[in-house]
Amino acid sequence: MTLLATERIKLFTTRSPWWSTVLALGVTVGLATMVGLTHDGPRPLTLTQTQFGTQFGLMVILVMAALAVTTEYRFATIRATFQAIPNRTAALLAKTTVVALLATVLGEIAAFGSWAAAKITATNTDLALTTADDWRRVAGTGLVYGIAAVMAVAVGILVRQSAGAISVLLIWVMLVENLVGLIPRVGADIQEWLPFIAVQRFLGNPGPDAVLGPWASLAYFAGVTAVLLVAALGSAAKRDA
Amino acid sequence: MTLLAVERMKLFTTRSPWWCAVLALAVTVGFAALMAGTASAESPITIAATQFGYGFGLMVVMVMAALAITTEYRFSTIRATFQAIPNRTAALLAKTTVVALLAAVIGEIAAFGSWGIATVIEPTADLAINTPFEWRAIAGIGAVYGFAAVIAVSVGVLVRHSAGAISVLLIWTSLLENLIMLIPRVGRDIHQWLPFNVAHQFVTGDPDPSARAIQDGPGLSDAVLSPWPALAYFAGFAVVLLVIALTVANKRDA
Amino acid sequence: MIEATGLTKHYGRTVAVDHLSFTVEAGRVTGFLGPNGAGKSTTMRMVLGLDRPTSGDVRIDGKHYRDLKLPLTTVGALLDAKWVHPNRSARAHLRWLAKATKLPRKRVDEVLDLVGLGSVANKNAGGFSLGMSQRLGIAAALLGDPKVLLFDEPVNGLDPEGILWIRRFMHRLAAEGRTVFVSSHLLSEMAQTAQDLVVIGRGKLIYQGTVSDFVENATENTVLVRSPELTRLADLLRADGVQVVEDGDSIRVANLASSAIGELAAAHRIVLHELNPQLGSLEEAFIQLTGESVEYHAHDKEPTA
């Protein structure tokens, strides 16, 4: 618990988590509000339409989580951290936990905030959360943000540079996973197994012939993340700080 | 000319532009090789399809361009720069020019390299560059990279932090422009005028009817401008951003 | 010559430099003295046109820095040795500066040899020790063979060898007739290198003049006197309007030469056991002058736990 408290203090005494929070919540809820305000026509506003801003929030979370560890390398405070807590695995796990918890909370606020904003602003809606699937698609955002934050922290530990880690994460999520699908013949099959495509299945409505169901997709995403985290912790323990 | 030489020296005596250039080329050309290698008789490779990786190269080039200026702030060498060249507008314009030229060159090499590797792998495919559309689809990429680099340098000057500038650029180009499209009613109208969507129109827009299976290329733009005005619009956007950045840099403490 | 008139810089609500006016005479070494946080670096950045004064003005030989043609040939500066790209070699760093100043390439190797970095010129500056970085910074400052040189805390953090090297270098630059403006928060350091002083505290000018005048004016001269007739002597002195502080079995007499005290005692047939002039140290003088304007006071408390 001491370690968690330490990392919580470190995280909230710098500025980047604060502006990340404002940006992630502001833009996601803001987009949902705009969707609500501009919506008209015969078809009621759907749950999917209220949640599209959460994709943006995910990018902000990735950046925030990566920065939480790369700035420690940038300012060499990681050395102070390892001096105070020589068990590097424990220190980094504590950081990962705190960042992931923050990301989860932000994800829930962003998702339910978007849902509520659209419900309030739009006139013709069909936004009742009735089925388990409905709940998964809104409340699931928090889980996704939390696990994605762990992945970003792991990448941050491995790359150690803000610019590099952020570029890798954003280009991977937004571009590479989409481009892969364009490769003739094999592309689509590979794409099914890419981690953030799995996230889309979890937050969406995958058909019965999808390679993995929604919860299995989330488990797969968590598994990929765990592998990355183990690799990151292993390399951090071996490396000179 | 002296200032351009200075900025050229500064750019090429650090590692990140080399890395980025190699990465941009490797990925775009590699992707073209993959497309050509996996093409089949019923879906033959097209000129447009050789350029699938161009969006990826664009991201890498923008990261490179942003880093060229943000690392100067990061290591405070911007102060040494302004000490040697107190005319900040001239110093930053020289940097922008050098970075944009490098980006354009990377774009041309990436585009023709992608096309070239496809012709090597699939010698029987019809990949002759004939029509204006086909020329734009390949040679136009250098122009887009060049102006995108101007935008990236401007954002770098304004934001001054690598992480911030890169996040803004990547999220804007790859996500925000598309998300805005999803807003009901107005989203599409706004999207038609967003700069990177318009730039995409220059490369993919106005296909001539004789072009083969253009749907096999990168997704099409929904911009309403025709290709050359689209490029002018994109360039105009870059210039406006640059002017703002230069004004701010002149007012601010270094 | 550097001339500042009414130089002021605000950062938000903080006033870093407050109506500062001073001149740095040509061909002399001028120390720029003040406690940490007094506004020395801000002033130097304004001299170089890096920071914009909120109001006021600073000129070098009558010109604003921005209007200098090839400024590095007029003013060389070392404000922070770490202002180099860590992945760029020392030679590459100097080469782009030389190019920007239209200097021949061989000048780069000249200054590298001058500061003794010739053998590591192709190594990345990021791997340099502070001392080496400092030498690289000095090489950059000397590149354009400027008449005016600015150094901000050049000996900070250096080992004794490095300090000695910098000090000798300053003397050499001064001997060559250059104008040197060098900041420090250590008066003893300045006493070794500078002829003139500009002293500031909290952004305001406290003193400008020669080092020796500063020491004389600022050092409070007291004389320690012991005598069996201490009270009578003290009363006599007080009657003459002299300030006397009693201190156990002795008194401290302020601002009166020991000879005058001795003569007064002799005139009244008072036996003296001790007549000892107390010279305040330079540091004391400095603290006395700037004490009220120190930005951050340490609280004299025992550390708890």
Integer Cα distance of B153 and B143 in angstroms: 16
Are C65 and B86 an interchain contact pair (Cβ–Cβ within 8 Å)?
yes
State the pLDDT at residue C206.
85
At which of C157, C189, C214 does a domain end? Answer: C214
Q: Is B53 in the A-facing interface, judged by CB distances under 8 Å?
A: yes
pLDDT above 90 for C280 = no
Contact B15 C87 (CB under 8 A): yes
- Measured between CB atoms, which of B52, B171, B184 is closest to A170? B171
Sheet with C244-247: list strands edge to edge: C244-247, C250-254, C222-226, C274-278
Distance between C234 CA and the closest CA of chain B, angstroms: 59
Chain A residues lying within 8 Å of B167, measured CB to CB: 59-60, 63, 166, 170
Q: Across the interface, do B185 and A40 touch by the CB < 8 Å criterion?
A: yes
Tell me which of A48 and A196 has the higher pLDDT: A196
Residues of chain B positioned with their CB less than 8 A from the CB of A163? 63, 67, 70, 162-163, 166
Residues of the domain holding B56: 2-251
Confidence of residue A178 (pLDDT cuts 50, 70, 90): confident
Nearest CB neighbour to B163, from listed A35, A162, A182: A162
Q: Is B167's CB within 8 Å of A31's CB?
A: no
- Residues A104-142 as b/e (b if ≥16 CB within 10 A, e otherwise) read bebbbbbbbbbbbbbeebbeebebeeeeeeeebbbebbb
C12-25 exposure pattern, b = at least 16 Cβ within 10 A, e = fewer: eeebbbbebebebe
The reply to whether C36 and C175 lie within a common domain is yes
> Above 80 in pLDDT, residue A41?
no
CA distance B197 to B206: 14
Beta carbons of B3 and C79 less than 8 Å apart: no
pLDDT at C119: 93
Tokens found for residue B229: 């005005």
> Which residue among C171, C188, C214 closes a domain?
C214
Q: Which helix (H) or strand (E) holds A77?
A: helix A77-84
* Interface touch C97/B84, C-beta < 8 Å: yes
Q: Which residues on A lie below 8 Å from B52 (Cβ)?
A: 179, 182
Alpha-carbon span A27 to B167, nearest angstrom: 14
CA dist C163 and C157 (Å) reads 9
CATH code for position C122: 3.40.50.300
Q: What is the pLDDT of residue B3?
A: 92
Question: Do both C232 and C89 map to the same domain?
Answer: no
Minimum mean pLDDT range among A77-81, A165-169, B172-176, B216-220: B216-220
R_g (Cα) of chain C, nearest Å: 24
B218 has pLDDT over 80: no
Count of structural domains, chain C: 2
What's the pLDDT score for residue C281?
Answer: 56
Q: Would you call C252 an interface residue with chain B, using a CB distance cutoff of 8 Å?
A: no
Side by side, the strands of the sheet bearing C179-184 are: C75-78, C148-152, C179-184, C29-33, C196-201, C204-210
Let me know: does C294 contact C35? Beta carbons within 8 Å: yes
The more confidently predicted of residues A15 and C29 is: C29
Mean pLDDT along residues A234-239: 91
For A200-235, the pLDDT digits (tens) are 999 988 777 788 889 999 999 999 999 999 999 999
CA of C92, closest CA in chain B: separation in Å?
7
C74: left (phi over 0), alpha (psi -120 to 50) or beta: alpha
Flag whether pLDDT at C116 surpasses 70: yes
Cα–Cα distances in angstroms (integers) from residue A209 to residues A137, A178, A201, A205, B211, in the given order: 19, 20, 12, 11, 36
Q: What is the pLDDT of residue A219?
A: 96
CB within 8 Å of B6: residues ≥ 6 apart:
B84, B85, B94, C96, C99, C100
pLDDT in tens, A88-131: 999 999 999 999 999 999 999 999 999 999 989 888 777 888 88
Domain count, chain A: 1
C-beta atoms surrounding A223 within 10 Å: 13
Position A2 scores a pLDDT of 81
pLDDT of amino acid C208: 92
Q: Which two tokens stand for residue B130?
A: 């004939």
3-state secondary structure of A84: helix
Verify that C180 and C72 share a domain, yes or no.
yes
Which of B53, B162, B171 lies at the smallest CB-CB distance from A59?
B171
Q: What is the structure's pLDDT at B229? A: 95
Q: Examine residue C14 and state whether it is found in any structural domain, yes or no.
A: yes
Whole-number pLDDT of residue B120: 93
CB contact under 8 A, A162 and B38: no
pLDDT over threshold 50, residue B37: yes
Report the DSSP beta bridge partners of residue C72: none
Average pLDDT over residues A64-84: 89
Pairing verdict, β C179-184 and C148-152: parallel
8 Å CB contact of A179 and B35: no
| Shared domain check, C39 and C116 | yes
Of A56, A163, A175, the CB nearest to B176: A56
**Do C92 and C237 reside in the same domain of the chain?**
no
Interface contact C91, partner B, CB < 8 A: no
Contacts of B89 (CB under 8 A, 6+ apart): B246, B249, B250
Q: State how many domains chain B has.
A: 1
A56 and chain B: CB distance < 8 Å anywhere?
A: yes
For residue A13, the tally of other CB atoms under 10 A from its CB is: 8
Least confident of A64-78, A207-221, C275-289: C275-289
β-pairing, C222-226 with C274-278? antiparallel
CB A196 within 8 A of CB A180: no
Residues of chain A in contact with residue B182, where contact means CB-CB under 8 angstroms, are 35, 49, 52
pLDDT for residue C212: 80
Q: Do both C149 and C65 map to the same domain?
A: yes
pLDDT value at A158 more than 50? yes
Residue C47 lies in a domain: yes
Q: How confident is the model at residue B221 (pLDDT cuts 50, 70, 90)?
A: confident
Report yes or no on C302 lying in a domain. no
B63 has a pLDDT exceeding 60: yes
Q: 3-state SS string over chain B?
A: CHHHHHHHHHHHCCCHHHHHHHHHHHHHHHHHHHHHHHCCCCCCCCHHHHCCCHHHHHHHHHHHHHHHHHHHHHCCHHHHHHHHCCCHHHHHHHHHHHHHHHHHHHHHHHHHHHHHHHHHHCCCCCCCCCCHHHHHHHHHHHHHHHHHHHHHHHHHHHHCCHHHHHHHHHHHHHHHHHHHHCCCCHHHHHHCCCHHHHHHHHHHCCCCCCCCCHHHCCCCCCCCCCHHHHHHHHHHHHHHHHHHHHHHHHHCCC
| Residues spanned by the domain of C245 | 221-279
Helix-helix angle B162-171:A162-171, to 10 degrees: 10
Q: Is the pLDDT of residue C217 over 80?
A: no
Chains in contact with A, where contact means 3 or more Cβ–Cβ distances below 8 Å, are: B
What confidence score (pLDDT) does residue A38 get?
86
Is the CB of residue B87 less than 8 Å away from at least one CB of chain C? yes
Q: Which of C66, C71, C92 sits opposite B13 (nearest CB)?
A: C92
| pLDDT average, residue stretch B117-132 | 88
Q: Do chains A and C touch (3 or more CB pairs under 8 A)?
A: no
The pLDDT score that the predictor gives to residue C287 is: 67
- B84 vs C: CB within 8 A: yes
Percentage, residues of chain C above pLDDT 90: 45
B83 touches chain C (CB under 8 A): yes
Q: How far apart are CA C211 and CA C209, in angstroms?
A: 7
What is the nearest CA distance from C143 to chain B, expressed in angstroms?
Answer: 11
Cα separation values, C194 from A161, B114, C27, C186, C188, Å? 43, 65, 12, 12, 10
C-beta neighbour count of B37 within 10 angstroms: 14
pLDDT at position C120 over 50: yes
Stretch C264-273: mean pLDDT, rounded?
90
> Residues A63, B163: contact at Cβ < 8 Å?
yes
Interval C42-53: pLDDT, tens: 999 999 999 999
Predicted confidence (pLDDT) at residue C302 exceeds the cutoff of 60 = no
Mean pLDDT of C293-301: 51
> Does B39 contact A at CB distance below 8 Å?
yes
Residue A183 above 90 pLDDT? no
Structural domain span for residue A153? 2-238
Rounded to an integer, what distance in angstroms lies between the CA atom of residue B253 and that of residue C13?
16
Strand, coil or helix: A45: strand
Q: Which residue of B has its CA nearest to C74?
A: B84
CA distance C52 to C66: 11
> Could you tell me if C164 and C233 lie in one domain?
no
Q: Which residue from C77, C84, C102 is facing B83, i.e. has the nearest CB?
A: C77
Q: pLDDT digit string (tens) for B8-17?
A: 999 998 888 9
**CA of B249: which chain C residue's CA is closest?**
C50
CA distance C167 to C161: 10
Contact B83, C72 (CB under 8 A): yes
- Tell me the pLDDT tens digit for each residue of C81-115: 889 998 899 999 999 999 999 999 999 999 999 99
Q: How far is B1 from chain A (nearest CA, A)?
A: 31
Residue A59: band (very low, low, confident or very high) from pLDDT cuts 50, 70, 90: very high
Substitution target in B7, B81, B83 with the highest count of C β-carbons within 10 Å is B83
- Average pLDDT on A182-201 reads 87
Work out the number of other CB atoms within 10 angstroms of the CB of residue B111: 27
Alpha-carbon distances, residue A7 vs A61, A158, A238 (angstroms) = 17, 19, 22
pLDDT for residue C303: 47
Domain boundary among the residues C196, C214, C232 is at C214
Mean pLDDT across B175-195:
89
- For B56, which of A35, A39, A175 is closest by C-beta distance? A175
pLDDT range class, residue C304, cuts 50, 70, 90: very low
Count of beta carbons in the 10 Å neighbourhood of residue A214:
20
| Residues from chain C contacting residue B87 (CB–CB below 8 Å) | 66
Do C14 and C63 share a structural domain? yes
Residues C206 and C229 in one domain: no
Residues of A in contact with B67 (CB under 8 A): 163
User: What is the structure's pLDDT at A240?
Assistant: 84
- CB-based contacts of C165, cutoff 8 Å, min separation 6: C131, C135
Best CA proximity match to C1, nearest among C21, C23, C19:
C23
Q: For residue range B235-247, what is the model confidence (pLDDT) as tens digits?
A: 999 999 999 999 9
* 3+ Cβ–Cβ pairs closer than 8 Å linking A and B: yes
Question: CB distance B14–C87 less than 8 Å?
Answer: yes
pLDDT given for residue A202 in this prediction: 93
**Chain B partners of A49 at a C-beta cutoff of 8 Å?**
182, 184
Distance CA A107, CA A144 (A): 8
**3-class DSSP state of A125:** strand
What 3-state class would DSSP assign to A100? helix
Statement: residue C305 has pLDDT above 60: no
